[in-house]
């Protein structure tokens, strides 16, 4: 799962925290048997992007993957 693709597919994103929710939601859509790690190939260009943005988005991706198992 490429971060650039998530951003491209969701042009209405207005801030980093909306992107975080979107990453989690996209991870929930990944089929159970598939393995799709998040690849942070671009840095989000939102004004409110925190310093450790990659860790935050990785955690959101992991939450989404865990949620799909329920």
pLDDT in tens, the chain (70 residues): 999 999 999 999 999 999 999 999 999 999 988 888 999 999 999 999 999 999 999 999 999 999 986 6
**What is the domain partition of the chain in residue ranges?**
3-69
Residue 2 sits at φ, ψ, to 5 deg, of -95, 135
Count CB atoms within 10 A of the CB of residue 38.
Answer: 21
Q: What is the pTM of this model?
A: 0.91
The stretches of 29-52 forming alpha helices (DSSP H) are: none
């Amino acid at each position: 799962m490429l971060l650039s693709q998530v951003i491209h597919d969701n042009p209405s994103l207005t801030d980093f925290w909306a992107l975080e929710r979107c990453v989690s939601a996209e991870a929930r859509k990944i089929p159970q048997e598939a393995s799709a790690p998040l690849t942070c190939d671009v840095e989000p260009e939102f004004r409110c992007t925190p310093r450790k943005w990659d860790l935050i988005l990785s955690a959101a991706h992991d939450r989404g993957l865990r949620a799909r198992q329920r």
